[in-house]
Structure 1
Amino acid sequence: MEIAGNKALGETDKRTICWSVGGMDCGSCVKKIEGALSILPGVAEIQVSMMAESLTVHFVSDQTDPDAVEKAVRKLGFTPSRMDKELPEKTEEAAWYQSNKGRLVVISGALLLAAWGVSASMAAPYGQWAFAGACLLGLVPIAKKAFAALRAGMPFTIEMLMTIAACGALVIGEAAEAALVVFLFAIGELLEGVAANRARAGIRALGDLVPKTAMLLIDGKLSEVPASSLAIGQSILVRPGDRIAADGMVAYGISAVDESPVTGESVPVTKVAGDQVFAGSINVEAALTVTVAKAAADNTIARIIRMVEEAEAAQAPTERFIDRFSRYYMPIIVGMAILVALVPPLGFGGAWETWTYRALALLLIGCPCALVISVPASIASALSAGTKRGLLMKGGSVIEAAAETRLVAFDKTGTLTAGEPRVTDILPKAANVTECLALAAAVESGSSHPLARAILDRAAEGGVSPLSANDIRVIPGRGLEALVEGIKVFVGSPRQMAEDGLLASTVETEIMALEEQGKTVAVITRDGQLCGLVALRDEPRDDAAETISDLKSMGIQSVMLTGDNARTAAAIAGGLGLEYRAELLPDDKVAAIREFSMDRPVMMVGDGINDAPALALANVGVAMGGGTDVALETADAALLSNRVSDVVAKIRLSRAAMGNIRQNIVLALGLKAIFLVTSVLGVTGLWLAIMADTGATVLVTLNALRLLGYRPER
């Protein structure tokens, strides 16, 4: 994809070009590409995603053309393909032996076997030459990558250490071991690639959820069209058993829809006209006509994929530390190897061959591959495991912060409660019930708040048509005001009238009695005169009490923040077993989060709309939202299933991921420490050193992949 900016006279060429890049298997691959391209003139910004296998380059001049970028990337051993050019349609993943790394394993293995055959059947010199030939032939592609990285200013790569170690072994007469080391290195690289593809499989599977075609309905006629061509406003027919091809609204029909591919919720949800449906969901029972609401590139699945890819590119604090550590670690290891090779022979009369051999082994075991991959492998697996269950997190930093959570602040309406309040009482004062409903419905007609919907539903049930309203205005934390038939009408919190001294004591008593029952009371005034009271109740979610209990057992406090009155808040909070703060304006919620955050990490859970400032301020902001725009974009994380119990699952998954990271770091550093010592002492040699390095990388990767099967709901 190429994007050219508008260019004024004399302005340099500005454009962005994207490539698909094959062969990236670990964080060091990303660093090599970034390093090689950063020295090219005219390149302003480079974005590389290992999981998405993509490269984006922002140019500020035409000093470097795209072909030069491709040439630099290809020299490093990767396969770039411009995304704006016609690409062959992706087929099933090739067998391991068909990849470049697989072919290197096969070739180096065959050469090694042939050398052993020559060594066993012919005189010693011929056997040595055969092993040397096997080593050099297998080393050629590795050395090419090493010198390409060297020219890009990166001397300390695993390929360079491998090249030096293999050539050094040949010089001191250890040809057989040099050939074996090349073969073992090739196996390690192949296993690393297999593990990376396994980690990417979750994202690929998400992309496969959306069908390639859709049944377009125009003037009663059906035609099969590519799903990517669907436009907003078009109608599609979704037959029983079909996957829905686009995000949209049900226009006609009633059917159960399995939304588990998107939300992780396994129980099908009944959808009727007006209900939202997601691309990738499965229509279970009857045919539905769906009006397309989003283009293919913006549907929920596509945006989840983008979010996961971006999250995996965002480094966690631990990952950044390991990355910085490895920059110093490799030069230190190289320096130690030089000292091991020189000091004993020069200072103590040691044998050059012996200490050179040990120095070469030290070089191989010193490679930080296992350490570098220990964090991103765990993060990628945790993100994939969470995505499958509707637990989205925007990067490793969010996982770390969620694992450290010590207090969870919940919004009330739509979070701890179902967000579906019902009108329970209408108490007329200066107007009858019908007038009260007509006035309230008129003011609330422009609002999407759950309380507004409840009032409008009650008016519809009673056959009451809303009056015409204009100049509707939101009074933050209070309610709504509008002109209805030219008269100012207010619907909202009784607090406003109470503060102005306009509520009679008998009315205040009525309001208190309703609020003590856990009901929210709204006053309806016309030209400052009280017309009536409307009481609504929003029941707690079925899993809310269990969630608070589970958090408590995990050592995490809970508090409810609400703009509702204290008596209603007390009734809801008391039933759930958590603390509360009531009658909070949006700014008050922000102040509360700021206060909580002073002495402990805080997670804020809200609907992602009214609570946006508080979500942004918390250490981790979590949006409930069933895949809405706000749920995916406002906060640090989102619960697509709309289950409050997933807050517990998210924290458990984050803690499991951080535990997995600690295990990986201990495993990587522990094996390095053991074999560094044994290599210097001469207990282990070259082939054991490379096996230890490869083994550590494989063990760390396999340990990280365990998270793919983690069940945080347990």
Structure 2
Amino acid sequence: MADISSPDNRFRFKIEGMDCGGCVATIRTALEGMPGATDVEVSLPRQELLVTLPDGDTTAADIRRVMGRLGFGAECLSHPEKDRSRRKGWLQGKPAQLALAAGAIVAAHAVSFPFPNAERLAFSIAALVTLIPIALRAIAAARMGAIFTIQMLMTIAALGAIIIGEPTEAAFVVFLFILGEMLEGRAARQAQSGIKALAEMLPRHALVQDASGNLNQIATEDLKIGQQIIVRAGDRIAADGVIASGSSAVDESTITGESIPVEKSPGDRVNAGTINHDATLRISVDRDSADNTISRIIALVEEAQAAKAPTERFIDRFSRIYMPIVIAVSALVAITPPLFLGLAWDDWIYRGLALLLIGCPCALVISVPAAIAASLAASARHGMLIKGGAVLESLAHSNRVVFDKTGTLTSGKPVVTDFIDLSAGSYDTLAIAAAVERESSHPLAMAVVAHADQQGVNRLDAREVTILPGQGMRAVVGVMQIYVGAPDHAPLQDKADADAETQMSRLKAEGKTLSVICADGMMIGLIALRDEARPEAAKAVQALKAQGMSSLMLTGDNEGTARALATPLGMAFQAGMLPQDKAGIVAAMAQSDIVTMVGDGVNDAPALAAAQVGIAIGSGTDVAMEAADAVLMSNRISDLPRMIAKARATMRVIRQNVAIALGLKLVFLITTIAGLTGLWPAIMADTGATVLVTLNSMRLLRDSGRDIAAPMETR
């Protein structure tokens, strides 16, 4: 999990019982009125409170007591020694309150059967007893400045119902209210399951070998940098590190979303939370538990969930004026018809009380953050890290995608595309070239060696190897003087023949890098290399086109190389671009379009910053995770259309949520004023809408995004 340490005056609390936006507003309003309490941050997705408490008026224990009065449990995480008492207040738990309400109603019924005349009194007492915990919370919130809470509305409605002679209905409405709060809490906890699932990917213990060779099991959070852990086949890896010994296939789906295991050997990096498949590995830990890949993903997702999208900020502002308007309308409904039309006071007061309950904005306030939290968590589980609701919203409305070329549309590693033997079989040409290139670590040389190994050529030895910077390499193989490198610097005795010139012109026109192989001053072979498009690039670009997105490639390569890559992909391109040129083009496009820029997260930083959404493609590097608005952890651009589809699905769910929240209220507003529905349907409309909105948002947890990004194939 993320580090919970904090400065001495910064306190972090785990809050229990916070299940809607109304709870967040109540807590924030209450704490901002406490002496000395500043920088109040309340996170519904994390169920946490952050507050600065300088030494003086307010302590951690004071915060816990205030939370108790408001009906929430609070545990101090960052400074537990300063707040040792964590017992809940009387009847703070919803099950206890529900049991009290049910018991009071049963007792009232038991009394009313033998004593029918006492029914009104019995149910009045039942309603008042049941209402006590709710009223206490309402009063506590009001004293701290949070007047317009659902608890206050519920208290007014229940007391009003008793006064106008409807105690039975008052008792049952309170019961339904508590039941609804329990359902809301359960739905909210399920909506947070995405983050919990990420946290559960980390094993709690690790095997460490001591100096005597004994294996000891220690807590994962106690692992130190430099220690070596033993990971057996089938176990989850407990820390980020480098393999010291052993080779095995590692399932990295927890990080990248890719289900196919990756072969790992000594020197390769592995990440915490991934699964070792085949054989025992000894891993040298190089990150603290609070800084491993899973912990950083969790921290970034939690921060992203706390960051508000523009739609959410609008609804927050709207809800602040909405509640006073609802109360004013309820008062007008209760007073105006009896006062000016001579209608029955009891009837219209009853309708006004029902409107109070209908008007609670809980479902509306939770409609956006619930969907965003579910979407961000589900995306992170499938290798798509999105940093907040604002990014999701921009991504959903994006209509242009700009790609860097090298390392983004391509794999970033050159491969041999053509080998042409000009010796007519007189030489083992490829083996000769590989013998020379084995002595270099240059990417082009490594590509030639890899191609030779794949072809199974004979392995020859090279002597007197000399690297010619910017030109190529020279060596002796057998008794021959060999040159492998750029054609312009080839030590030819005679000009290359017409066939060789034709072949070289063709390969250069295809945007390929050309190397010649010369033996004793005679050209005996050609090798063409190119950084090829990723296997999934064409399908990704086509999927984006199907989503209505236009694609553009920006590259520093020459026009021939750019055209050779972009044309088969079916996308526009601009070549010869410097980093500042890319940033300028993206900034110009962003004036009229919503632009998503995809790059490697390092040298494309200016262009990523110029776009409305900057997406880094890379296997979870620190720079990529911190610099961009979103990261494709899988290093696979086929996840881009899935990410966009996920963002658009999220916005659809948000629109549905708002429609559910406002639609139910509008229906019951009309039926209540018409006298067709009363207090029971009103409370069910409020809590029911909140539960429906939360459950609708949870659908985003089940959709990974890969099944809604047609026409992409399923991985």
TM-score (norm 2): 0.84
Across the aligned residues of Structure 1 and Structure 2, the Cα RMSD in angstroms comes to 3.4
Is 1:603 aligned to residue 571 of structure 2?
no
Instruction: Return the alpha-carbon distance in structure 1 between the equivalents of residues 501 and 656 of structure 2.
Output: 60
Once the two structures are superposed, residues 148-205 of structure 1 have per-residue CA deviations (whole angstroms, 9 ceiling, x without a partner) of 1111211111111001000010111100000011011111101110011101122112
Counterpart of 1:295 in structure 2 is: 288
Counterpart of 2:171 in structure 1 is: 179
Counterpart of 1:684 in structure 2 is: 677
Is 1:49 aligned to residue 46 of structure 2?
no
* Distance of aligned partners of 1:436 and 1:620 in 2 relative to their CA distance in 1, 3 Å threshold: farther
The answer as to whether partners of 2:438 and 2:446 remain within 8 angstroms in 1 is no
Q: Aligned AA for 1:519?
A: K
Work out which of the two has the higher radius of gyration on C-alpha atoms and give 1 or 2: 2
The answer as to whether partners of 2:396 and 2:644 remain within 8 angstroms in 1 is yes
* Distance of aligned partners of 1:167 and 1:454 in 2 relative to their CA distance in 1, 3 Å threshold: farther
Instruction: Return the alpha-carbon distance in structure 1 between the equivalents of residues 349 and 378 of structure 2.
Output: 46
User: Following TM superposition, by how much is the alpha carbon of 1:44 offset from its aligned partner in structure 2, in angstroms?
Assistant: 2.7
* Distance of aligned partners of 1:465 and 1:434 in 2 relative to their CA distance in 1, 3 Å threshold: farther
Is 1:199 aligned to residue 191 of structure 2?
yes
SS of equivalent residue, structure 1 residue 121: coil
The answer as to whether partners of 1:437 and 1:459 remain within 8 angstroms in 2 is no
Which of these residues, 182, 201, 222, is aligned with residue 190 of structure 1? 182
The answer as to whether partners of 1:622 and 1:638 remain within 8 angstroms in 2 is yes
Which of these residues, 673, 680, 702, is aligned with residue 709 of structure 1? 702
SS of equivalent residue, structure 1 residue 225: strand
Q: Aligned AA for 2:29?
A: G
SS of equivalent residue, structure 2 residue 511: coil
Is 1:537 aligned to residue 530 of structure 2?
yes
Instruction: Return the alpha-carbon distance in structure 2 between the equivalents of residues 84 and 366 of structure 1.
Output: 38
Identity level (%): 50
The answer as to whether partners of 2:366 and 2:694 remain within 8 angstroms in 1 is yes
Matches within 5 A, 1:363-374: 363-374=356-367
Gaps of 5+ in 2: 82-90, 421-431, 454-458, 472-484, 490-497, 517-525, 708-715
The answer as to whether partners of 1:438 and 1:459 remain within 8 angstroms in 2 is no
Is 1:211 aligned to residue 203 of structure 2?
yes
Is 1:567 aligned to residue 560 of structure 2?
yes
The answer as to whether partners of 1:520 and 1:564 remain within 8 angstroms in 2 is no
Is 1:136 aligned to residue 128 of structure 2?
yes
* Distance of aligned partners of 1:463 and 1:354 in 2 relative to their CA distance in 1, 3 Å threshold: farther
* Distance of aligned partners of 1:29 and 1:424 in 2 relative to their CA distance in 1, 3 Å threshold: same
The answer as to whether partners of 2:435 and 2:462 remain within 8 angstroms in 1 is no
The answer as to whether partners of 2:386 and 2:630 remain within 8 angstroms in 1 is yes
Which of these residues, 23, 29, 32, is aligned with residue 35 of structure 1? 29
SS of equivalent residue, structure 2 residue 243: strand
Instruction: Return the alpha-carbon distance in structure 2 between the equivalents of residues 628 and 135 of structure 1.
Output: 59
Alignment coverage as a number of residue pairs: 648
User: Following TM superposition, by how much is the alpha carbon of 1:116 offset from its aligned partner in structure 2, in angstroms?
Assistant: 2.6
Q: Aligned AA for 1:191?
A: L
User: Following TM superposition, by how much is the alpha carbon of 1:340 offset from its aligned partner in structure 2, in angstroms?
Assistant: 1.3
Which of these residues, 213, 229, 248, is aligned with residue 255 of structure 1? 248
Counterpart of 2:144 in structure 1 is: 152
Matches within 5 A, 1:200-599: 200-219=192-211, 220-422=213-415, 513-520=506-513, 536-599=529-592
The answer as to whether partners of 2:374 and 2:700 remain within 8 angstroms in 1 is yes
Instruction: Return the alpha-carbon distance in structure 2 between the equivalents of residues 136 and 345 of structure 1.
Output: 27
Instruction: Return the alpha-carbon distance in structure 2 between the equivalents of residues 142 and 467 of structure 1.
Output: 85
Q: Aligned AA for 1:51?
A: P
SS of equivalent residue, structure 1 residue 580: strand
SS of equivalent residue, structure 1 residue 599: coil
Once the two structures are superposed, residues 289-309 of structure 1 have per-residue CA deviations (whole angstroms, 9 ceiling, x without a partner) of 111121100011111111111
The answer as to whether partners of 1:516 and 1:567 remain within 8 angstroms in 2 is yes
Instruction: Return the alpha-carbon distance in structure 2 between the equivalents of residues 467 and 275 of structure 1.
Output: 30
The answer as to whether partners of 1:543 and 1:644 remain within 8 angstroms in 2 is yes
Q: Aligned AA for 1:334?
A: I
Gaps of 5+ in 1: 6-14, 88-97, 445-449, 473-478, 481-491, 498-505, 524-532
The answer as to whether partners of 2:440 and 2:446 remain within 8 angstroms in 1 is no
* Distance of aligned partners of 1:456 and 1:151 in 2 relative to their CA distance in 1, 3 Å threshold: farther
User: Following TM superposition, by how much is the alpha carbon of 1:214 offset from its aligned partner in structure 2, in angstroms?
Assistant: 1.1
The answer as to whether partners of 2:618 and 2:632 remain within 8 angstroms in 1 is yes
Counterpart of 2:425 in structure 1 is: none
User: Following TM superposition, by how much is the alpha carbon of 1:133 offset from its aligned partner in structure 2, in angstroms?
Assistant: 1.6
User: Following TM superposition, by how much is the alpha carbon of 1:114 offset from its aligned partner in structure 2, in angstroms?
Assistant: 2.6
User: Following TM superposition, by how much is the alpha carbon of 1:556 offset from its aligned partner in structure 2, in angstroms?
Assistant: 0.8
Which of these residues, 151, 159, 163, is aligned with residue 167 of structure 1? 159
* Distance of aligned partners of 1:608 and 1:454 in 2 relative to their CA distance in 1, 3 Å threshold: farther
Which of these residues, 36, 52, 66, is aligned with residue 72 of structure 1? 66
The answer as to whether partners of 1:434 and 1:464 remain within 8 angstroms in 2 is no
The answer as to whether partners of 1:2 and 1:17 remain within 8 angstroms in 2 is no
SS of equivalent residue, structure 2 residue 561: helix
SS of equivalent residue, structure 1 residue 209: coil
The answer as to whether partners of 2:11 and 2:52 remain within 8 angstroms in 1 is yes
User: Following TM superposition, by how much is the alpha carbon of 1:467 offset from its aligned partner in structure 2, in angstroms?
Assistant: 9.0
